[in-house]
Structure 1
Amino acid sequence: MKHKPGIVALALVVMVALAAMPGLAALDEAYPPPLPESSTQSVEVVDRDGKLLRAFAAADGRWRLPVRLDKVDPEFVRMLVAYEDRRFWQHGGVDPLAMIRAAWQMLRHGRIVSGGSTITMQLARLLEPRPERSLTAKVRQMARALQIERRLDKRRILELYLTHAPYGGNIEGVRAASLAWFGKEPKSLGLAQGALLVALPQSPERRRPDRYRERAKAARDQVLARMAEGGFIASGEVARASAVPVRARRLALPALAPHLAQQARWLRPTEQVHQVTLSRPVQKALEVVASEAAQRLGPDLSVAMMLADVHTGEVLAEVGSAGLLDVRRSGWIDMTGVPRSPGSALKPFIYALALEDGLVLPETLIEDRPASFDGYRPRNFDLTYQGDVSVRQALQLSLNVPAVRLLQATVPSRLLGRLHRAGVVPVLPRDKAPGLAIGLGGVGVTLKDLVQAYTVFANNGRTVTLGDGVTGRPAAAAGRAMFSPVATWHVSDILSGVAPPRGTARLPIAYKTGTSYGNRDAWSIGFDGRHVLGVWVGRADSAPVPDLNGITVAAPILFDSFARTGLKFEALPQAPAGAVRIEAADLPSGLRFFTAPDAGLPQVGLHEPALHIVYPPDGAHVDLGLASGGAVQPLMLKLQGGRPPYRLLANGVPVGEPLRSRSGLWQAGGIGFSRLSVIDARGRSASISVYLE
């Protein structure tokens, strides 16, 4: 201890000598200080607003998050400078007055009362640590402090100190410390919290709150007392802050969106900060819902979710599993990208195709009875049948036989073609042509596929290409038309009337559920006018799960998630031109959908030729005088085959009285394309699109 005054005096001499050396600049350039590179810091993944989603430990295993001074509570900064280095903003890296004061106090008390190191000198020691405490080490710190002050301004020096200061264990820097000890960013520190973070770097291991809570509290209260003595804070504030208990538990740093965060690192391995399109509050809410649901469902089931913005194609939340480190749930597998059977979740696209073709209207009657389609005999989920139901009821009740009837009429390959338009490439069984089973889940799609496909119902029939969540907004969010606006509006209108799950409040959304064969996958996809949210529940190993289904398992999670995102619900798209909601009482009597007789049943009337519209041909341009302003001629329709009477529908709306012969007239309402459909007495139909001018 006796050599300490000599050390301080010699250090002062060396400092003055260094400042006066003519060759200091050359020496400084030859031996620059080891200023840190950004690669020594933790990698961050932040959301669309810059909020921290996940941090990865630095290469040396330490949590070392970069600090910006404008993101730190200014009262904490003021307290730190007042406690550690009162003349920080004035000195040039070494404070002679502080060192003289420290030497004098040591002479008077026979021990070190206060140190003479500046914040810049402490930063030098942190950047170039040496275990020994010697004269040489002290001189080196002073020299390095002078070098650092020549290169960096005061704010940057303070930022580097607040990035590298030790706070116990492998925590370095005030951001990591604030998150680990208080669970929040240092922008909004309380007085008691700030005082603790001022005290910890002086003896980070002996004052760790999770191990030595009483020591941590004593050190914190000492900082508060000194601040009061110096007039920096009022004594009443000190009493209130000292009464605040010290948390004795270290918190985990944010680890939201683990699958997407890891993907961001793989895609951009050299970047330190990855900004993704997710919204932190929404992501956190969905992860909580997924975790709670998984706990209720059992140890082997996982939950995946994806929420997308229909207008931009951006992914706002993505939950790959119910827990990354959960071994029984195989939580490391990102189930948003694994092809699984969608069950009935593809049915809305079958109905959209049939509505677009003019084969049915929402109130058209369709049979739900046992049927065989070349040996394929679909059955309803509950093994019961409803008889004659409207198309609206068939979709809302997710009846299987009506969906297969419509798919047979619209052709399975056309359904796949429309899915391809949406950017969805379903996985078919090897060496198998698309058959009727694809309408009930006999195909593989991913959760992201389904969310992307369902965007057409909230986007007036146009596809929306979803981004990957990592590289930003897709280059072209709006793709090609998948279905007509009228058809997609009708489907949205039907799905908006589906009853919510039992015990769940109704929300202003439309939704559909699905359950795969063998109860392996449960789905629920919902949308409002701006967002599409998809939910998958099942086992990662595809094992069957008794009682797993979309309506009782996945749908409640969907509604809970929508309610807890905090997002404002937006109205579903309004009815486009030509879309009219027609009540059943206003439809012509006996308007039914008819398919070919079932195999094995009596074949009555098969000698009748198929129904065709022979004039005008499909796609024709017909001049009716609409553009000239003169007399407007009616459109002549000529039919072939089928059985009269014939019911004519223009753009999905019944027109006039039934035709008793195979020709008739229709008075067009305006210039442009019109969709004309004819349904005969047995429910068979034919449709064309013509341009009238």
Structure 2
Amino acid sequence: MRRRFATVGLGLIAAVFVAQYGLRDWVARTVLPDLTPETSVVVEANDGQLLRAFTVADGRWRLPVEVSEVSRAYLSQLIAFEDKRFYSHKGVDGLAALRAVGQAIWNGGVVSGGSTLTMQVARLLEDSGTGSWGGKLRQVRVAWALEQVASKDEILRLYLQLAPFGGNLEGVRAASLSYFRKEPARLTDAESALLVALPQSPEGRRPDRHFKRASAARDRVLARGVKAGVLSAEAAVAAQRETVPSRKYPFEFLAPHLAERVVAENPQALRHRLTLDRALQAKAEALLRAHVRGKHAALSGAVMVMDHQTGAVLASVGSPDYLDAGRQGFVDMTRALRSPGSTLKPLIYGLAFDAGKAHPETVIDDRPIRFGSYAPQNFDNQFRGQVRVREALQMSLNIPAVSLLDAVGPSVLMARMRRAGADPVLPNERPAGLAIGLGGLGLRLQDLMVIYASIARGGQAIPLVWRADVAEEPASRPPVLSPVAAWYVGDMLSDVPAPPTAPQHAVAYKTGTSYGHRDVWAIGFDGRHTVGVWMGRADGAAMPGQLGVGLAAPLLFDLFAAIKPALDPLPAPPDAALTVSTDQLPASLQQFRRPGVLDGRDKPEITFPPDGAHIALGGDPVLVAKVDRGVPPFTWLANGVPVEVGSFERQVELDTKGTGHLALSVIDATGVSQAVRVFIE
């Protein structure tokens, strides 16, 4: 037996030295395996930390990694333990090979392989065996050929990506993240030693299964490091005190919706670097989960955080839990088309300011009004009479907002949304009407983010950016609002009361609730960041009783607290801003006047009975009369005689006192009247 090993061993030694010094043609004819093995597609945060990884085809985690991304502690111990002459040999270490052959002859079998890192890479690339001389000879040939076409760092990088670490873990990055929950650049001496030891027996030394074997193997690597001079004795003793991990951790699963989106957009790329802040992304996901916990099982939500100075998206959460089927968590609600509710009101007011129709201190009517067949109502079906524009926005009154939209035009609102970078969708492709101001169109959370970011930036639009590895020149767009109008809006929104535990007057924000309580929103900004929250059901079902102020606003302020300890101050007023009281405004801005309505008043309109009608009362002299528009209280006259005085109701019962021709009149609080003539039978 020993004679056979001796013969084979001498042949191997001869082959090694001949390959290095004689038969270069034989090496040149070597057919190399693919030097670009498949690696996991990874999506990384702005600092390179992992957000999400995808396994390779056979279910293994094999994450791409560069030599520069691995700690020097690991690299130095790896070289010292595996291949101390790595940077000087040409693929095969002759001295190590002689030692291995001698040990094999003496022991009657392979004791130590004498494999260099290059030879190990050759074996890993071809998945060849480790215990046969034939396999060793093939590794020698491939290693020598590999050194002719690849640099030492390229060979080392292949080892760092392909080395086995137990189970379905391949490569030092996958192992570092799974065993230590950290990137390999931050490995300690003890952690490095363990990962150096594992590939020698990846299953037999797995720390999650064979804790004692793993500890002993780690300590041997540390001892070798001391002997090689890459580690001090004191450092080795300290490293031995560190606990070897007893479990594997799951890989990060952050921003799964956005990760899938960017991979689908560029499927050829292996690494995707995003603008997301990993720590903030994790906090945002945890906060959203906490805010839906204990509520309806189908309640979903979405969150976005952006730096509106750069456009960078710092957090994007598409649902509370990607894997929660009950909430349809797989649906990315940052991109879902929903009704924006009242969230467009700030832009409407800004457009009115720019058009010279109003000022924050302008007085505007909040009273029943009709625009053709459209008669908007306030959310609580109440009317406040005359209020300042500032108060109208802060109370989110519908009628003043629609009145201002009527003055500036729905088409202008649509155009400015698109100018901000939003993509509004009208139902059934109908022309834009006044209902869009109260949520009668479709928008996405990311659309509202760019709209509010433009207000925060003094009216200047900026696109959302979520790829850090693609340089894009932002397209130049005309301003969405003037700096003065944008500041007016932000100043008004900053006075909206925040939740009791949140800082007051530090965030300019708006809540919104769509028709039927299907969508609740909270969007706001400080001096640096814009944050958006949507909550609702992914299937669009109603959530009775849920309001943006109670459901979404607390989460909005929790997110601001997660971004930074102190909020950035809102901008100071531009020089051209007019910060005066109502009576100091120009006369044209003191009271909002609807276009085409004299003195800002709507004439009252008797909607029943219609003019010229014949009405059969059947012996009952009581006539029901109805009035629309006009300013209450109302006075009703029958044939010039008052029959109802000071009524705030729009439907009254009048005593006609008989039959025959009747002249019916109504006079509103401003003295404007209307009359109809009917015949009572």
Q: Shared topology, TM-score over 0.5?
A: yes
Q: Does the 8 Å contact 2:363/2:582 carry over to 1?
A: no
Conserved in 2, the CA contact under 8 Å of 1:165 and 1:174? yes
Residue equivalent to 1:640 = none
Shift in Å, 1:473: 5.5
Query: In the alignment, what sits opposite 1:11?
Result: 12
1:473 & 1:234 partners in 2: Cα distance?
45
Partner SS for 1:337: coil
* Aligned residue among 405, 408, 411 for 1:410: 408
Q: Which residue among 322, 337, 351 is the counterpart of 2:349?
A: 351
Corresponding position of 1:87:
85
Query: 1:489-509: per-residue Cα shift (whole Å, max 9, x none)?
Result: 111111111121233234732
Q: Residue 137 of structure 1 corresponds to which residue in structure 2?
A: 135
Counterpart of 1:354 in structure 2: which amino acid? A
Does the CA contact (< 8 Å) of 1:286 and 1:565 recur in 2?
no
Counterpart CA distance in 2 for 1:481 and 1:501 is: 32
Shift of 1:317: 3.0
CA distance in 2, matches of 1:152, 1:486: 61
Aligned 8 A contact 2:30 2:142 in 1: no
Give the corresponding residue for 1:489. 487
Q: Distance in 2 between matches of 1:231 and 1:50?
A: 32
Structure 1 residues 227-266: aligned runs within 5 Å: 227-228=225-226, 232-266=230-264
**Structure 2 counterpart of 1:26:** 25
User: 1:512·1:526 contact (CA, 8 Å) conserved in 2?
Assistant: yes
How far 1:200 sits from its partner (Å)?
Answer: 0.7
**Structure 1: which amino acid aligns with 2:239?**
A
Measured at CA, do residues 199 and 582 of structure 1 come closer, stay the same or move farther in structure 2, by a change above 3 Å? same
SS in 2 for 1:482: coil
Q: Following the alignment from structure 2 to structure 1, what is the Cα–Cα distance between the partners of residues 498 and 302?
A: 20
The equivalent residue for 1:630 is none
Counterpart Cα distance in 1 of 2:34 and 2:414: 59
Q: Tell me what 1:152 maps to.
A: 150
Structure-2 change in CA distance of 1:25 and 1:176 (3 Å): same
Aligned amino acid, residue 36 of structure 1: L
Q: 2-side partners of 1:491 and 1:206: how far apart?
A: 66
CA distance in 2, matches of 1:394, 1:603: 19
Report if the CA contact (8 A) 2:30-2:141 is conserved: no
Aligned residues: 604
Structure 2: gaps (5+ residues) = 595-600, 607-626, 632-669, 671-681
Distance 1:477 1:251, change over 3 A: farther
* Post-superposition offset of 1:523: 0.9
Contact 1:428 1:444 in 2 (8 A): yes
1:520 shift after superposition? 1.0
Counterpart amino acid of 1:13?
A: A
Tell me which residue corresponds to 1:65.
Answer: 63
Structure 2 CA distance, aligned partners of 1:446 and 1:281?
25
Matches within 5 A, 1:217-296: 217-228=215-226, 232-296=230-294
The equivalent residue for 1:122 is 120
Instruction: Answer with 512-521 or 211-220: which moved more.
Output: 211-220
Percent identical among aligned pairs is: 45
Instruction: Give distance in 2, aligned partners of 1:118 and 1:417.
Output: 66
Residues 314 and 474, structure 1, Cα contact 8 Å, conserved in 2? no
| Pairing of 1:572-651 with structure 2 (within 5 A) | 572-584=570-582, 586=584, 591-595=590-594, 596-597=601-602, 599-600=605-606, 601=627
Q: What is the CA-CA distance between 1:374 and the residue it aligns to?
A: 4.5
Distance 1:561 1:81, change over 3 A: same
Q: What does 1:554-569 correspond to in 2, within 5 Å? A: 554-566=552-564, 569=567
Deviation at 1:530, TM superposition (A): 3.5
Residues 297-446 of structure 1 aligned to structure 2 (within 5 Å)? 297-374=295-372, 376-430=374-428, 432-446=430-444
- Matched with 1:628 is none
Match of 2:213 among 187, 190, 215: 215
Q: Is the 8 A contact 1:310 1:464 kept in 2?
A: yes
Q: Which amino acid aligns with 1:37?
A: T
Q: Secondary structure at the match of 2:534?
A: strand
Q: Give the Cα–Cα distance (whole angstroms) in 1 for the partners of residues 314 and 152 of structure 2.
A: 39
The alignment's C-alpha RMSD in Å is: 3.0
Distance 1:200 1:395 in 2: 64
CA shift in 2, pair 1:82/1:582, >3 Å: same
Q: Show the counterpart of 2:194.
A: 196
Post-superposition CA distance 1:134-167 (Å, at most 9, x none): 2211111112222222222322222211111001
CA–CA distance in structure 1, aligned partners of residues 245 and 376 of structure 2: 61
Question: 1-side partners of 2:546 and 2:6: how far apart?
Answer: 78
Q: Which amino acid aligns with 2:121?
A: L
Stretch moving more, 45-54 or 252-261:
45-54
SS at match of 2:42: strand
Change (3 A) 1:288 1:115: same
Distance in 2 (alpha carbons) for counterparts of 1:32 and 1:104: 30
Change (3 A) 1:229 1:19: closer
SS in 2 for 1:344: coil
Q: Secondary structure at the match of 2:501?
A: coil
